[in-house]
């Protein structure tokens, strides 16, 4: 649910930031968002909307909870709902933020031409949200990622991203460091990214913890790709210690052990992740199937891939990989 344009896949000083603001004005929605509990957020939003049709907070929560569903009709409903909100409630920052987030997913799934056609609207809605609520860190974070990805000639560029970071360097130093870490990642300066992340002190701010979790996950993935397994394991085990209720660290360890061909441990970590917050947004059955296939457990691998194909949050790329692997496994005996 939490938008991250850089992950393909989610206080920094001694004092807590003094100007942070939650995306939702009602704390229960914010808590579900920060924990990544998309299914529970969806359930509660649907219940609220049956009781109170048109409720703004519930409508936005539902749109974000359904942002990664394979059923694109639900996403279209969310787009219409948030566009209506933008049109009819011009002073509400939540509406343009969620609308731009939905458009980002639509652009990602629609290919280059679709992304090009939506780029201007994505940018304008994030800018609108930020102008209405300058301390909305989610909008600032998403807009920074937009600037880092989109070239200057198309309205993005590193200079604009640096300006966004500089604006909160004094008022929100923790988030400024996180933004600098993200900028370093786009430049593949992983050492600088790690330095910035390690300058972040523990925080009770769940929004920051969620953003930080995604950033550490991105760095861990890079270390795994570089086969720097001891460093990746140390990073992920620390993340697991710091945020024991969230599934991302266990999932990352599962990916690492798969790469190391320690398949039993990989499966154990994936199963551990299944019981934690955020699990519904991770392709656990897909990854379990990959590990089982590598072990030669064809029947169990086939069952895992078939389960993933029934996952309402299955991504197109993972679905394609599952179908390819099922073809390799051949028909069930």
- pLDDT attached to residue 290: 98
Residue with tokens 């909307």: 49
- Residue 11, number of CB atoms within 10 A of its CB: 20
- pLDDT attached to residue 154: 75
Domains identified in the chain and CATH numbers: 22-134 (1.25.40.10)
d(CA 43, CA 40): 5
- pLDDT attached to residue 204: 67
Q: Rounded to the nearest 5°, which phi and psi values hold at 136?
A: -80, 100
What does each of the 333 residues of the chain score in pLDDT, given as a tens digit?
544 443 333 322 222 222 345 789 999 999 898 888 999 999 999 999 999 999 999 999 999 999 989 888 888 999 999 999 999 999 999 999 999 999 988 887 777 788 788 889 999 999 999 999 998 888 998 999 889 988 877 788 899 999 999 999 999 899 999 999 999 999 999 999 999 999 998 776 788 888 899 999 999 999 999 999 999 999 999 999 999 999 999 999 999 999 999 999 999 999 999 999 999 999 999 999 999 999 999 999 999 999 999 999 999 999 999 999 999 998 876
Residues 6+ apart with CB under 8 A from 139: 93, 97, 126, 129, 130, 133
Distance of CA 96 to the CA centre of its chain: 18
- pLDDT attached to residue 15: 29
d(CA 15, CA 190): 26
- pLDDT attached to residue 114: 81
- pLDDT attached to residue 124: 95
């Amino acid at each position: 649910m939490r938008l991250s344009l850089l992950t393909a896949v989610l206080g920094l000083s001694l004092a807590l930031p003094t100007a942070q603001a939650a995306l939702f004005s009602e704390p229960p929605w914010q808590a579900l968002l920060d924990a990544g509990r998309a299914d529970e957020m969806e359930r509660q939003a649907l219940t609220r909307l049956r009781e109170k049709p048109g409720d703004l907070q519930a409508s936005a929560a539902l749109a974000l909870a359904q942002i990664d569903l394979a059923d694109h009709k639900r996403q279209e409903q969310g787009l219409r709902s948030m566009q209506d909100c933008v049109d009819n409630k011009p002073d509400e920052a939540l509406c343009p933020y969620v609308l731009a987030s939905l458009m980002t997913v639509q652009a990602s799934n629609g290919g280059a031409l679709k992304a090009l056609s939506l780029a201007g609207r994505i940018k304008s809605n994030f800018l609108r949200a930020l102008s209405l609520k300058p301390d909305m860190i989610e909008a600032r974070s998403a807009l920074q990622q937009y600037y880092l990805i989109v070239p200057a000639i198309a309205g993005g560029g590193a200079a604009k991203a640096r300006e966004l970071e500089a604006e909160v360097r004094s008022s929100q130093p923790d988030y400024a460091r996180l933004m600098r870490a993200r900028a370093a990642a786009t430049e593949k300066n992983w050492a600088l990214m790690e330095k910035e992340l390690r300058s972040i002190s523990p925080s009770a701010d769940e929004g920051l913890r969620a953003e930080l979790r995604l950033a550490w996950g991105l760095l861990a993935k890079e270390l795994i790709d570089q086969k720097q397994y001891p460093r990746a394991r140390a990073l992920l085990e620390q993340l697991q210690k710091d945020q024991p209720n969230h599934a991302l660290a266990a999932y990352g360890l599962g990916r690492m052990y798969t790469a190391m061909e320690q398949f039993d441990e990989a499966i154990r970590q994936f199963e551990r992740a299944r019981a934690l917050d955020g699990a519904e947004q991770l392709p656990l059955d897909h990854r379990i199937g990959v590990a089982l296939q590598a072990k030669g457990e064809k029947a169990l691998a086939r069952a895992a891939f078939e389960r993933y194909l029934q996952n309402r949050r299955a991504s197109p790329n993972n679905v394609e990989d599952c179908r390819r692997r099922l073809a390799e496994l051949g028909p069930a005996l």
